[in-house]
Amino acid sequence: MEGKMSGGVDTNETILSKLRSKYADKPWNETLQLVRRCMDKSKTDSRTSELYLRCLGRLHEELNVSSLTAMVSRLEMIAKQRGLGSHRSPTETTCYLTSDMFYLEVLLLPGGDVEDVKVAHHGEAPVSWEPLLTLLRSKRFDDFSMKLDCLSSLYNIIGDNETKIKVYTALQHLERDLLKISQLPRPLIDHDLHVDTILNGRIGKVTLQREGNPLSIKYYISPYDLLTDNDDAECKVALVVAGASDSTHRLQMTSLIQKPPIINSEGLPVFLPLDNVTSEVLPACFFLKLQPPLPMLSSFIHKMDQITEMNLCETDLQWLPFPWLLKASLGETSCSDYLEKMPISLCLFQTTRCMVMCWQLLRHQAAINTLLSSFITPHRPSEGSEPDLHCEVLPESDSSFSVSFPLHESDCLGVLLVNVKDSHQITCRLFTPCSKDLSIDEYIMRVLKRCMCIPLVMRAICRRLAQNGSSVLVSKQPSWNLTF
């Protein structure tokens, strides 16, 4: 607020002096009520609405929420900040925060305490939501506001109400089909059901949409992390959402899985065609948001484009040497800003069928990344010391690579050829003049599938050769310095 000078006197200072003298003798409660009434008044000037909301937010943060009126006022302020509507029940004991696609029902007690918080998605009955209730009872209003933002992001759809409802309906049918596919009977491969579902399930471990979070699918986890009981083991996760698109796409408006499901030779259901009965053309598409971002080879990106019949990312990709991207994804280099230019969302508009085909590619790429990343370590040789051995990794094709390394304490060179046909079909062969063991390839293949860690495989090779009486002697666990 800028004040004008009148006869050398700042008008702002004059106004403040008058306000101080006017309210100096009034009780604080009366002044506070006036401030609240002013805060409740609507502001129609869009040019100052952002500043206005910031000022209101600051005032609300300073005011203690200790009454019914104060709690309602704070909820209404949060609704304004998040672009939501709000209104009170006739009894003023319930506050509603509303949008086109959902609403919150906050039940309040006379003293201002929160009795319950219910969330109703479009076309669904209100359901109590414990996380939001806990946040409001503990007066963690910033966290409550962030949860509302997550909830709103589920409906990040541009268009009128009818379009938003149709896109959300399509997303619900997609989610139900994905859940059905994940629950189809299949043989158990791993003794741990959770791990088996992630690594060997048809699409992975499905977690339904809840608490403002979209449906998520865990599709890969490193076997090495499972072997070492790594508490920081990170699952590869894809979030399934719907969003606006520059062009229209045909989205399913019903389940595409027949009843009962007809299973094809690949163990997947036969999907109904997308036609005028089962689908509708809408200005939207489905997205897979990968967490964390998955460094992808250009050939895999092109394969993904062919499956989805659209570009993987609408913005230009920053093509970089693949080792750089792997190191950046592990936080091992300062080029993490490059990684942000890699795609983290996959646009899918052929519904369930496209998604199922994409999972195989994502797992395939994740398996390759896991093997190559096993060379990358945060540990560095101390100053003046050198690693025991060096190895060289060379690409042989899009899904195969070779590792050349000297066998410890011998003059022999070993070359390990690794071929990753997909995430489940991984083969390897050892080429070396130091061994005539015909079963060594089968042995190292079992080790590789068990740990998915190339350095461990190389150590296992050295031990195997030593046990068989070859010229290789292993006095200690060797370490390797990697060259891509």
pLDDT tens, position by position, 427-460: 999 998 877 778 899 999 999 999 999 989 998 9
Residue 338, pLDDT > 50, answer no
- Determine the average pLDDT of the residues in 226-235: 71
Ranking 137-141, 190-194, 273-277, 338-342 by mean pLDDT, the lowest is 338-342
Strand 480-483 with 389-397, pairing? parallel
Q: Indicate the CATH number of 389-483 among 1.20.120, 3.30.390, 3.40.1130, 3.30.1490.
A: 3.30.390
- Going by C-alpha positions, the residue among 378, 362, 356 that lies closest to residue 289 is 362
pLDDT at 184: 92
Task: Identify the sign of the CA torsion 222, 319, 299, 350.
Answer: positive
Residue 275, pLDDT > 70, answer yes
Helix H segments across 374-453?
A: 440-451
- What secondary structure letter does DSSP report for 210? B
Q: Which one has a higher pLDDT value, 197 or 25?
A: 197
Cα–Cα dist 271/144, whole Å: 41
What band does 155 get if pLDDT is binned at 50, 70 and 90? confident
Residue 134, pLDDT > 90, answer yes
Q: Can you give the residue ranges of every domain in the chain?
A: 26-39+46-153, 161-373, 389-483
What band does 478 get if pLDDT is binned at 50, 70 and 90? very low
What band does 382 get if pLDDT is binned at 50, 70 and 90? low
pLDDT at 367: 94
Residue 43, pLDDT > 70, answer no
- What secondary structure letter does DSSP report for 114? E
Q: Measured in whole angstroms, how far is the alpha carbon of residue 191 from the centre of its chain?
A: 27
pLDDT at 105: 95
Q: Which one has a higher pLDDT value, 312 or 466?
A: 466
- Going by C-alpha positions, the residue among 362, 363, 423, 352 that lies closest to residue 179 is 352
pLDDT at 46: 46
**Helix 68-81 crosses helix 141-153 at what angle (to 10 degrees)?**
40
Q: Which one has a higher pLDDT value, 26 or 152?
A: 152
> Cβ distance 82 to 92 under 8 Å?
no
pLDDT at 325: 65
- Determine the average pLDDT of the residues in 269-278: 94
Residues 6+ apart with CB under 8 A from 155: 99, 100, 101, 102, 164, 168
> Cβ distance 360 to 366 under 8 Å?
no
Q: Dmax over Cα atoms in the chain, in whole Å?
A: 104
pLDDT at 334: 39
Count of beta carbons in the 10 Å neighbourhood of residue 433: 12
Q: What is the pTM of this model?
A: 0.76
The rounded percent of the chain whose pLDDT value lies above 70 is 73
**Helix 161-182 crosses helix 351-373 at what angle (to 10 degrees)?**
60
Residue 119 β-bridge partners: 104, 127
Cα–Cα dist 51/203, whole Å: 47
What band does 308 get if pLDDT is binned at 50, 70 and 90? confident
pLDDT at 453: 92
Count of beta carbons in the 10 Å neighbourhood of residue 439: 9
H or E stretch covering 138: none
What band does 335 get if pLDDT is binned at 50, 70 and 90? very low
State the chain's mean pLDDT as an integer: 80
- Going by C-alpha positions, the residue among 458, 139, 203, 193 that lies closest to residue 354 is 203
Task: Give the CA dihedral 164, 165, 168, 172, nearest 10 degrees.
Answer: -170
pLDDT at 81: 86
**Assigned token pair, 405:** 């390394």
Cα–Cα dist 205/218, whole Å: 5
